[in-house]
Structure 1
Amino acid sequence: MKKKEPIQDLFERLEGSFDTQEVPVGHQKRFLEKLNKTEQQKSPRHMVWKVVSVAAAITLILFLGSTFWTQEAPLEAELASVSPEMEETQSLFTTTINEEIQNLQQYESPETKELIDNVLAEVTHLENEYQQLKKDLVSSGNNKRVIRAMINNFQNRIVLLEQVAGTVEEIKTLKNEIDETTI
């Protein structure tokens, strides 16, 4: 292995091979003039490239930013978004609720109007709670408790509508019996 030479030994060894001539008079001035001239010649083109590259970078950032920001998570999700079985369940519940509401509205009379209006208000209240549960489903990441709460909400609406439908039927039957006995 070769041992490293100290710096002093290196200069001693290279002595005489250095260029020690004086620089011609005005050389530094001419060099600086040429340097400034080339910088001035490059400057407009160089500035154009700088502006173009900055504009391209800003455009790229805006494009990527808008792409990511437009892919926001939904604010709420239906029960149907959990699985195909839940989609079927939601469809069944929704159909049943709509049918029960239509049946109630068919039996509306002066005697049952207040009862039907009250139950429809309660169903609307439960529907508002369901809207909040849809938001909770997204924020909880399809938590099973939220899914159960959504199913219970549907069931509560159906039970409520069925109970009132039964009461309306009883009122209708009693009215018919009273009308028959008075004739």
Structure 2
Amino acid sequence: MAQDIKSLLKNNQSSEQIQMPEGHDKRFLERLEASFPQATVSKRASWRWQAIAASMVVALGLGYVVFQELKTPETQTVVHTKTAESPTKTLGDVSPDLKKVEDYYLASISYELSKVKVTPENKELFDGYVGRLEELNNEYQKLSDELTKNGPNEFTVNALINNLKMRLNLLYRLKEQLQAFSDHNQKTI
């Protein structure tokens, strides 16, 4: 019962040639085109407008981001978290996962610090927190030196991560204190 399909096709092919009815190709193409009509010009035009609008939104968004980055505030305080010239090891040198943790905290610290608005009324409070941030940054640098000198160990890695957490928490507290200070000043006015 079971036959090899190759041999079956060879035998069938040699016995007779099947011819298609005349005009079959033409009728088939006509039906195919009727089933799948070509896109109309209006649909193409609407897609073009949508593509242009999307490009404009992206361009405006990028322009806004660049403008915000170039705009300099009246009072700008920079807390250095890592120097490029430093030959010391960081968490990123220990493992890729720790690099992600370190990058997350450093980016969050920079972001939160950039959102702080310093006014003459809250400058003293801000300066106190910046002093503490600088102390934590110096401690982080010492821990990085220790990591370079002694190699990675659990104590040093945990201390580096805790230092980053403390800096971020300190910035959160600063924002809360500045908000409370602002709310208090608005109530007294």
- What's the TM-score, normalizing by structure 1? 0.54
- Alignment-mate amino acid for residue 168 of structure 2: I
Q: Return the match for 1:166 from 167, 171, 176.
A: 176
- Give 1:148's aligned residue: 158
What is the correspondence of 1:27-106 to structure 2 with a 5 Å cutoff?
75-104=87-116, 106=117
Distance across 2 between alignment mates of 1:75 and 1:146: 17
Deviation by residue 1:51-105 (Cα, 9 ceiling, x = unmatched): xxxxxxxxxxxxxxxxxxxxxxx9520111111111100110001111121122x
Tell me the amino acid that sits aligned with residue 170 of structure 2.
L
The runs of at least 4 aligned residues of structure 1 exceeding 2 Å deviation read: none
Q: Deviations over 1:124-172 (max 9, x none)?
A: 1111111111111122220110000000110111111111110100111
2: CA distance between counterparts of 1:103 and 1:166?
12
Aligned length: 104
Q: Give the unaligned 5+ runs of structure 2.
A: 1-85
Alpha-carbon separation, structure 2, partners of 1:176 and 1:118: 22
What code does the residue aligned with 2:141 have? Q
What is aligned with 1:112?
122
Q: Percent identity?
A: 27
Counterpart CA distance in 2 for 1:90 and 1:151 is: 7
Distance 1:143 1:128 in 2: 20
- Structure ID, larger Rg: 1
Taking structure 2 as the reference length, the TM-score comes to 0.52
In 2, Cα distance between equivalents of 1:137 and 1:116: 31
Distance 1:173 1:99 in 2: 23
Q: Which amino acid aligns with 1:142?
A: P
Structure 1 match to 2:167: 157
Q: What's the C-alpha RMSD, in Å, of the aligned pairs?
A: 1.4
Q: Which one of the candidate residues 149, 155, 159 is aligned to 1:139? A: 149
